[in-house]
Homo-oligomer: A and B are copies of this chain.
């Protein structure tokens, strides 16, 4: 029997989850839950659409609810609220607030005998695992996370809020000489600007003052002021044609030493090259839904993260098969 999955929220991530479930024969999508009028939402693969108001009524038809909302305002409310009725997975990615989010979900999950896995995805998520494993193994060393080349939604949004900007896309790009130094095991210290640079493609409104827009971008604190930032003005057509996707990725590198006087050097590198950031994140969430279902079945309740879950629980393969073919 398949594990029955609900999709709560239907933006890029929700659509990614919809497709990802189809790639996993042991999982089945029950439907999509939306805050919009369900009649106005058409799913990509013909999944039924329900109002979020009807979700709780359907709790016995859903083994795991995957929450596909945003970290700013949706998940801090939705995850604690829904874990009372469902096993849940979310991709809460505001790093600084993760401990508080975990604590909020934990209390309710334990009481409701539900299992939650929060902050799944690739960072936090797969990159966290890379940092954890490489740090545990090379205890004397240093690790580095580089993001990109990829579209940063937060930075793109920040540009769009500038007066006179019609649309924008911002790419975060790792500085090549920085990654090279880390790969050589040099353990350098970097400022933020030495690790990443920012490239912006901006569609300006007709007659807008491009010099002012460029200045406002380049001087925006936290987002751009500290970085080497390039701004290109392009047409709306060019933006859609060449920058319509949401690629991303990055690399976690740890270099460390072992042996007598630390004479032997080791470099562990984990990298992702993703054509679609939301679809890859969705694929991680779906594997986590499988793990959550298994944990709950075994009576493991509360709020977990990817760091807490035995790796084998994420795989569709049986442990026997894993030991035989993969280990």
Q: Which A residues fall within an 8 A CB radius of B?
A: 16, 19-20, 23-24, 44, 95, 98-99, 102, 119, 124, 126, 128-133, 135-140, 258-260, 263-276, 279-280, 282-284, 287, 290, 305-312, 314-317, 319-320, 322-324, 326-327
Contacts and interface: CB of A to CB of B under 8 A. Distances in A.
Contacts of A258: 16, 19-20, 23, 275-276, 279-280, 282-283
Given A98-B324, A270-B270, A307 B310 contact: yes
Which among A16, A95, A263, A273 has the highest number of chain B CB atoms within 10 Å?
A273
Contact of A274 (B266, B315, B320): B266
> For the complex formed by this chain, how many copies does it contain in all?
2
A118 to B, nearest CB: 10
A224 B308 CA distance: 43
A207 to B, nearest CB: 37
A254 to B, nearest CB: 11
Contacts of A16: 258-259
Contacts of A119: 327
Given A24-B139, A310-B308, A315-B135, A327 B98 contact: yes
B283 A129 contact: no
A139 B283 contact: yes
Contacts of A130: 270
A321 B327 CA distance: 30
A48 B266 CA distance: 29
B280 A326 contact: no
A264 B273 CA distance: 11
A271 B309 CA distance: 23
A108 to B, nearest CB: 17
